[in-house]
Structure 1
Amino acid sequence: MQIHFHIIGILLVTLAFVHLIFPKYFKWKEDLKPLTLINRQMMTVHTFFIALVVFLMGLLCLTSSSDLVETKLGKTISLGLAIFWSLRLLTQFFGYSAKLWKGKAFETVVHIFFTGLWIYLSLIFWMNYLR
């Protein structure tokens, strides 16, 4: 199980850093211009904090895998992370319109990749909690 936590740690740290390209890739400077100042800044601030939390989850998995597997607190943390990533998996299908990816090769690959990632994260954290 610990090897899975190390893999997850690497994946989550990488995902956190991917958030750095969001503003430029999604053209936030132009696309968010019509929004009020508070809404523009909320997008930036919330993206930063999402990336920070994902980074910290990754560090936890990399540095404390044995604690996550062997302690009651680790199991409880795994339960919280299992719920978090399971909800993120559901959001993949019910929070985003299929119009964003259907019929678009790159977007479909990204959708499938992240669906697989959310499934993997959910399963590992549920398995750790339940065993």
Structure 2
Amino acid sequence: MITQLNIVGGVCILLALLHAVFPSYFHWKQELKALSLLNRQLMYVHTFFIVLTVFFIGLLCLTAAKDLVTTRLGNRIALGLAIFWALRLWVQFFGYSAQLWRGKPLETVVHVVFSLLWLYFTAIFFMVFWSGWKLYPFAH
């Protein structure tokens, strides 16, 4: 389980770093120009905090994997992260329109890859939680 958490951690850090190219790749300067200053800044600020959150999840998995697996607090954090990534997986299908990827080869591959990635993250964190459930039930 620790190895899997380390893999999740490395991928999360890579995902966080990948966001650095979003503004230029998605042409945010031009695309967001029509938005009000508040909405434009909300996009940048919220993206920054999403990146920061994903980076810290990665750092946690790389530096405290053993604690996530072997402690009561780690068990509860793993449950929270399982829920976080399960919700992200749900958004992949119900928050984004299928028009963004259906019938487009590259976008379909990206959709499938990220769907599988969110499923993998959800499964790993849920397994970490479940493996500690007998040791650290909520009743105690």
TM-score (norm: length of structure 2): 0.93
Taking only aligned residues, the RMSD between alpha carbons, in angstroms, comes to 0.5
Q: What number of residue pairs does the alignment pair up?
A: 131
How far apart are 1:36 and its partner, in Å? 0.1
Equivalent position amino acid for 1:15 in 2: L
Structure (1 or 2) with the larger CA radius of gyration: 2
How far apart are 1:109 and its partner, in Å? 0.8
List alignment gaps of at least 5 residues for structure 2.
Answer: 132-140
User: What stretches of structure 1 move > 2 A for 4+ residues in a row?
Assistant: none
The residue that corresponds to 2:134 in the other structure is: none
Q: Deviations over 1:7-45 (max 9, x none)?
A: 000000000001111111111111111100000011011
List alignment gaps of at least 5 residues for structure 1.
Answer: none
Q: Is 1:42 the equivalent of 2:67?
A: no
Distance (whole Å) between structure 2 residues aligned to residue 16 and residue 105 of structure 1: 25
Distance (whole Å) between structure 1 residues aligned to residue 43 and residue 56 of structure 2: 20
Query: Counterparts of 1:1-131 in structure 2 under 5 Å?
Result: 1-131=1-131
Secondary structure, counterpart of 1:96 in structure 2: coil
Distance (whole Å) between structure 1 residues aligned to residue 46 and residue 26 of structure 2: 15
TM-score (norm: length of structure 1): 0.99
Equivalent position amino acid for 1:75 in 2: N
